[in-house]
Structures are given as C-alpha cells and as structure tokens.
Amino acid sequence: MAHLWQRLMSLPFLRSEASDDAAGSSDASHSDLLLATQTATHLERLTARPCNRLIYRTALTHRSVLHDHHGDADRPESNQRLEFLGDAVLDLLISEHLFKQFPQSDEGHLSSNRAKIVNRKSLAAFARELQLGEHLFIGESADKQKIRDSESALADAFEALVGAIYLDQGLAGAERFIMNHVIAKVDLRKLVEAEYNYKSRLIEYTQSRQLPPPLYTVIAEEGAEHEKHFTVEVSCNGLSLGRGTAPRKKDAEQLAAREAMILLDSADPFKPSAES
C-alpha cells in the first residue's frame, strides 16, 4: 500500500499543498508541486473552467509511461482511449460548423475541408500553440525531448484533451474550446478558396474563349445591417451564368462563379459551333 501511495503522489496532478508538507519541503518536491500547479492553471485557462484533474492527467499521459510500469497492476492509463473519443467529438463539431458555414458546399467539399483542419499536422500545430508538449507526462525510459515535440504525440494529446473536456464539461464545453482554439485560428474562407477558387476558374474559362471578363452584380441585399446577406449574379457577354448568396459579397461572388462553372461544365453555351 505504501508503494502504491508513493507512486500516486509522484504524479504531478495528484500532488497537493498538504502532500508537499507531508513529504518534506525539499527543492525537488517544491519543483514538482510548481509544475503541477502550473499545469492545472494552464488547463483551466484553456478550458475556462476548474479542471477534473484526474481526467486531464490521463489526457496528457503519453503511452510511453505504460512501458515504465509494464506488468504493474496499478499502472496509470495512457491518453489513447481519450484520443479515440476526442477524435469523434472533434469530427462532429468541425463537421457541424462547416455544414452551417458553407450551405452551398457538397459532401465532397465539406469532407475535404474538414480533413485539412483535423489532420495530424494541423492538430500538432494547435497543440504547440497551446504548449501541450511542455505538460505531457512522458515515460522515464523514453526520449523525452523528441516525444514532447513529435507530431504524433502532440496530435494525440490534442485529441485526448478534447475528449477530456467533453467528459468534464459536456458537448457545450468541447464546442467552446474548439471554437476558441481551432476555428478562431483557421481562415476557413481562405481554406475553401485555396482549393475551390471558382472565380479564378471562370476567368480562365472566359480568357480561353476570348470572351469579356465575368461581370458580378449585386441583385439583392437582405437582413439587418449587422447580418446582411448579399445575392450576386455573374454574367458574361450578356448571359446570366449563376447566382450566389452569402453574408459577404466576395463569398456570394464565389458561389455564383461555382454555379456558373457547374453550368459551363454540363452545357457550355459559349462552345464554338462546329463548322458545317
């Protein structure tokens, strides 16, 4: 029992002011306490709520810790199960946001843009911005420095943290965290336009046919000043090709150009007639 207590007290999240007094006031124990306090404070700042420390300790426990406790009945749990849960929560919330933000996008486009946000490289970048690597629990036998900055470990930790927040604060808490630390960091419009810049494609089309450039016209404005929606029509050579509606004129133009390209790909009204 004493051996188990010592091991539990060695975990930074489970140390307390009282345990420090009981164990003595050595520099080493004070350093461990400071790390625990810093980690808890850091997580509470990120999640905007007091933390269930056991759940978040698990979220930050790298699987290398298990190797140091191989065969122990009381070995700690790694963050792999929370990673599985967080992955599902992240997919759901990002999918919902993209679904609402881009009502004109089809399933393929939504899936493609979600993949750009939740891929391993992106998740690791989010984790670095949150400084999760500094707070990971790493096994003593592992190469700590490399693991703390590895793309895989950081991405896993980020997903596990989302899973922990979901268990601790529910879906609303997870959504708040993702909106603040994922959605707010990603330029979704630029992300979409990078792959699906229909305005550029339409210009290339008109140039290849020696046609006048596309003309974009606002044909309707609806809603209050702070929540306007613009409807834009695109035409070429006097022929209407498509319309789009969005809160910003540029996005409405992009949607109008997308509709135009769908039309031109299926039935090209400017296709040169075959010589008789």
261 with 238, same domain: the answer is yes
In the predicted model, what is the mean pLDDT of residues 182-198?
74
Residue with tokens 């596990």: 160
180 with 66, same domain: the answer is yes
Q: What is the residue range of 133's domain?
A: 2-190
149 with 214, same domain: the answer is no
For 89-112, the pLDDT digits (tens) are 999 999 999 999 888 777 777 887
For residue 34, the model assigns a pLDDT of 37
Is residue 87 within 8 A of residue 171, CB to CB? The reply is no
18 with 128, same domain: the answer is yes
pLDDT exceeding 70 applies to what percent of the chain?
A: 77
Is residue 96 within 8 A of residue 171, CB to CB? The reply is no
131 with 214, same domain: the answer is no
* Residues pairing with 49 in the sheet: none
- Model confidence at 72: pLDDT above 70: no
Q: Is 159 annotated as a binding residue?
A: yes
SS3 234: strand
Helix ranges, the chain (H): 2-9, 17-23, 27-47, 53-59, 64-68, 80-101, 107-118, 120-129, 144-148, 151-181, 188-195, 198-208, 249-266
CA nearest neighbour of 154 among 191, 113, 114, 119: 119
12 within some domain? yes
**Long-range contacts made by residues 133-136, C-beta under 8 angstroms, separation at least 24?**
133/157, 135/38, 135/39, 135/42, 135/43, 135/60, 136/60, 136/61, 136/62
Confidence of residue 83 (pLDDT cuts 50, 70, 90): very high
Average per-residue pLDDT for the chain: 78
CATH number for the domain that contains residue 115 = 1.10.1520.10
CATH number for the domain that contains residue 252 = 3.30.160.20
For residue 121, the model assigns a pLDDT of 87
- Model confidence at 222: pLDDT above 50: yes
In the predicted model, what is the mean pLDDT of residues 120-149?
83
243 with 128, same domain: the answer is no
160 with 215, same domain: the answer is no
For residue 70, the model assigns a pLDDT of 60
Least confident of 163-167, 200-204, 224-228: 224-228
Catalytic residue among 20, 159, 233, 253: 159
For residue 78, the model assigns a pLDDT of 87
Catalytic residue among 20, 27, 77, 87: 87
Please confirm, yes or no, whether 32 is among the known catalytic residues.
no
Q: Which two tokens stand for residue 84?
A: 């599985």
Please confirm, yes or no, whether 87 is among the known catalytic residues.
yes
Q: In the listed set 136, 164, 190, which residue is the last one of a domain according to the structure?
A: 190
Is residue 67 within 8 A of residue 142, CB to CB? The reply is yes
Confidence of residue 150 (pLDDT cuts 50, 70, 90): confident
94 with 132, same domain: the answer is yes
- Model confidence at 200: pLDDT above 60: yes
For 15-61, the pLDDT digits (tens) are 333 333 333 333 333 333 333 677 777 878 888 777 767 888 888 88
Q: Is 156 annotated as a binding residue?
A: yes
219 with 262, same domain: the answer is yes
The residue ranking higher by pLDDT, 173 or 37, is 173
Q: Which two tokens stand for residue 65?
A: 């810790």
Q: In the listed set 155, 174, 190, which residue is the last one of a domain according to the structure?
A: 190
14 within some domain? yes
Residue with tokens 């096994």: 139
The residue ranking higher by pLDDT, 192 or 166, is 166
